[in-house]
Structure 1
Amino acid sequence: MTIVKHLKDSSSQRLPKKQSPYWIKNMVNLIPSLLLASLLGTYLDLFFIGKGLYSFPIRPMSSIFSINIAFTLIGLPLVIGVFLYVCNKINFLQKVGLIIIFSLLMAVVEKLAEAVGLFVHVDGWKHLYSFYGYIIYLSVIYTFFHWSKRTLF
């Protein structure tokens, strides 16, 4: 009893709460955005493959899936997670620049994937299409992330 009374009467200050890392604190907001990114990427791949605009000659479980599920379920969410993490730390103009840089990088990575045989576009494909597509895709994902942070949780 005296210990409890002593602790209540103590004038010592409580220790400040330990701050959670970004990925724990904002996981509730991040998960829906990563799910949207993965689903949207999967459906876009299915659409473009169905239209015959590109294909994945080398992919996991090729007898089951016409898309590269490793990219849409692992690679894309990782890239988007990094993208959203950085977006959370910068101002609006820097976000615009980041979207442009990421879109350019994705178009370059597509070109490299083609060079090593992981990805094949139709002959008339211009990588500028990918660049603009990723600008739209990343803008949609960031807008959803920003909206969900303010509205859902």
Structure 2
Amino acid sequence: MERFITNTAKRLKKLNLPSWSKKMSCSEKKQGRNDHKVIVATIIFSSLIGTYLDLLFVSKQIYAFPARPFPQVFTINIAFTLFILPICTALFVWIMKMLPTLSKIIFIISIGLCMSISERFAEQLGWFVHSEAWHHSYSFFGYLIFLLFMWRFYRWFQ
């Protein structure tokens, strides 16, 4: 019987099975809660920055939002700054947390390119209008700076 137990134990060790998952410590749970708070703070911050940038650029007549909710009250598209931007910021932070450094850079550049291209489609749909002096490369670099700033804010706030 002893030989059976010894052989079985040796075979089980050779299987290299992962051990039972350990329970999370209180500090790990607290870190998880803090991460949610940091993400929420980053979302709020991005929404505020996006709102103020839109207000600034619309007042300087650099761009406008012809199709927007409550046009009598707001000069900017509040649907973007209160719904779309916060959701995209949460996704952005969630994805960035999982990427290695080089992939983070490529990811941010890709988003900048996509936003520059999507603005052209938004203009064709009548959701967005730029002044004649506007170049879509400004959007590319603007989103690069904005996303880097949001990522730095998230990392600093942690």
Structure 1 residues 68-147: aligned runs within 5 Å: 68-147=77-156
CA distance in 2, matches of 1:29, 1:88: 12
Question: Which residue identity lines up with residue 99 of structure 1 in the other structure?
Answer: I
Q: How many residue pairs end up in the alignment?
A: 134
Deviation at 1:108, TM superposition (A): 1.2
- For residues 59-84 of structure 1, give each alpha carbon's deviation from its aligned partner in whole angstroms, at most 9, with x where no partner exists: 00110000000000000011111111
- Structure 1: 5+ residue stretches without partners: 1-14
CA distance in 2, matches of 1:87, 1:78: 14
CA distance in 2, matches of 1:43, 1:99: 22
Structure 1 residues 12-91: aligned runs within 5 Å: 16-17=23-24, 26-91=35-100
- For residues 1-51 of structure 1, give each alpha carbon's deviation from its aligned partner in whole angstroms, at most 9, with x where no partner exists: xxxxxxxxxxxxxx835x98xx96731110110011000000000010011
CA distance in 2, matches of 1:16, 1:80: 30
Q: Matched residue of 1:88: which SS?
A: helix
Give every structure 1 segment of 4 or more consecutive aligned residues whose post-TM-superposition deviation is greater than 4 Å: none
TM-score normalized with structure 1 length: 0.81
Larger radius of gyration: 2
Q: Which has the larger displacement, 89-98 or 24-33?
A: 24-33
CA distance in 2, matches of 1:67, 1:120: 12
The Cα RMSD (Å) is 2.1
Deviation at 1:92, TM superposition (A): 1.3
Q: Matched residue of 1:52: which SS?
A: coil
Deviation at 1:58, TM superposition (A): 0.6
TM-score normalized with structure 2 length: 0.79
- Structure 2: 5+ residue stretches without partners: 1-21
Question: Which residue identity lines up with residue 100 of structure 2 in the other structure?
Answer: N
